[in-house]
């Protein structure tokens, strides 16, 4: 008999596979990112198809097969209806899911990533009229931090001294802040950008607070723009 196991999973995407089957990519709690085949999932009579829409949080049973692993059963526990009924929220959620899919290897258990994605979808489902760029970049910062690329935001990565409120810089190649003195001594200036003290505070805050608390922040446009720009460049370097 094929080995089976139960898992919680978030559907990342799905597509037609062969004539009557579906192929779904999920982020599972127990096994990380998986590609699974759903036998008969593309048929109009399929009872599973409605549970396998992208973004759905499901309880499923995975069956290990010789050539493919199969999703034997799935019951949706959260369909995030408010996200799917709002174009802006759906667009943000889709962007986040694509980034997760692109950033993870298959069959690598990452419980914290699963919980991060689920927490973000719950937040997004319960809040509207938010700044999409800001919250996408918050998610990206947390995602890459969980993947082992946590930036150093408290001490200079060159000399080890505590970062103080003076002119500081962000070194993307080395993954953290450098002080003014060390920046002058750094011969490779390609991946180094000036970062304001307020932006440093927001970077720290986004790694400390939950999404619901960050939703209450009232930030001016210049600071938002700087934060988004820094995170995008940092993430692009690793992607």
Q: Answer yes or no: do 124 and 14 share one domain.
A: yes
Beta strand extents in the chain (DSSP E only): 4-17, 21-28, 32-38, 57-63, 70-78, 168-171, 176-178, 192-195
Q: Report yes or no on 76 lying in a domain.
A: yes
pLDDT for position 47: 82
pLDDT for position 182: 86
Q: Answer yes or no: do 197 and 101 share one domain.
A: no
pLDDT tens for 48-80 read 888 999 999 999 999 988 888 989 889 999 999
Q: Report yes or no on 141 lying in a domain.
A: no
Share of the chain above pLDDT 70, in %: 97
Residue 151 confidence (pLDDT) above 60:
yes
Q: Answer yes or no: do 97 and 123 share one domain.
A: yes
Q: Residue 169 sits in which domain range?
A: 147-238
pLDDT tens for 125-149 read 999 999 999 999 999 999 999 999 9
Bigger pLDDT: 55 vs 239: 55
pLDDT for position 156: 94
Q: Answer yes or no: do 84 and 154 share one domain.
A: no
CA dist 210 and 85 (Å) reads 24
Q: Report yes or no on 234 lying in a domain.
A: yes
- State the total domains in the chain: 2
List the CATH number of the domain containing 88: 2.40.50.140
pLDDT for position 189: 64
**pLDDT band per the 50, 70, 90 thresholds, residue 1:** very low
In angstroms, what CA-CA distances link 201 with 32, 63, 132, 197, 219?
32, 47, 20, 6, 12
Q: Report yes or no on 142 lying in a domain.
A: no
pTM, two decimals, is: 0.91
CA dist 83 and 92 (Å) reads 9
pLDDT tens for 196-214 read 999 999 999 999 999 999 9
Residue 2 confidence (pLDDT) above 60:
no
pLDDT for position 157: 92
pLDDT for position 78: 96
pLDDT tens for 179-191 read 988 887 765 667 7
Q: Answer yes or no: do 122 and 162 share one domain.
A: no
pLDDT for position 180: 86
- What number is the average pLDDT over the span 109-122? 95
Q: Report yes or no on 139 lying in a domain.
A: no
End of a domain among 129, 163, 181?
129
Bigger pLDDT: 108 vs 86: 86
Q: Report yes or no on 135 lying in a domain.
A: no
Q: Answer yes or no: do 19 and 110 share one domain.
A: yes
End of a domain among 129, 160, 188?
129
Q: Answer yes or no: do 21 and 89 share one domain.
A: yes
**pLDDT band per the 50, 70, 90 thresholds, residue 96:** very high
Q: Report yes or no on 19 lying in a domain.
A: yes
Residue 44 confidence (pLDDT) above 80:
no
Q: Answer yes or no: do 71 and 182 share one domain.
A: no
Q: Report yes or no on 104 lying in a domain.
A: yes
End of a domain among 129, 161, 186?
129
- What number is the average pLDDT over the span 106-135? 94
Q: Answer yes or no: do 100 and 190 share one domain.
A: no
Q: Answer yes or no: do 212 and 113 share one domain.
A: no
Q: Answer yes or no: do 32 and 108 share one domain.
A: yes
Q: Answer yes or no: do 120 and 32 share one domain.
A: yes
Other CB atoms within a 10 A radius of the CB of residue 16 amount to 11
């Amino acid at each position: 008999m094929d080995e089976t196991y139960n898992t919680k999973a978030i559907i990342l995407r799905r597509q037609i596979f062969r004539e009557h089957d579906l192929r779904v990519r999920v982020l599972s709690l127990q096994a990380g990112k998986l590609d699974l085949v759903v036998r008969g999932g593309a048929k109009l009579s399929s009872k599973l198809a409605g549970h396998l829409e992208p973004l759905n949080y499901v309880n499923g049973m995975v069956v290990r097969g010789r050539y493919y692993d199969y999703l034997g059963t799935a019951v949706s526990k959260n369909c995030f209806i408010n996200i799917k009924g709002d174009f802006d929220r759906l667009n943000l959620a889709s962007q986040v899911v694509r980034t997760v899919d692109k950033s993870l290897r298959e069959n690598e258990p990452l419980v914290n990533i699963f919980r991060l994605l689920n927490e973000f979808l719950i937040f997004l489902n319960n809040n509207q009229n938010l700044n999409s760029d800001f919250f996408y970049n918050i998610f990206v910062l947390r995602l890459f931090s969980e993947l082992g690329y946590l930036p150093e935001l408290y001490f200079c990565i060159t000399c080890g001294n505590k970062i103080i409120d003076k002119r500081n810089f962000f070194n993307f190649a080395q993954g953290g802040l450098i002080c003014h003195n060390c920046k002058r001594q750094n011969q490779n200036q390609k991946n180094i950008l000036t970062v304001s003290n307020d932006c440093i505070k927001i970077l720290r805050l986004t790694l400390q607070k939950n999404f619901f608390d960050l939703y209450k922040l009232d930030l001016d446009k210049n600071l938002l723009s700087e934060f988004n720009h820094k995170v995008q460049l940092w993430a692009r370097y690793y992607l």
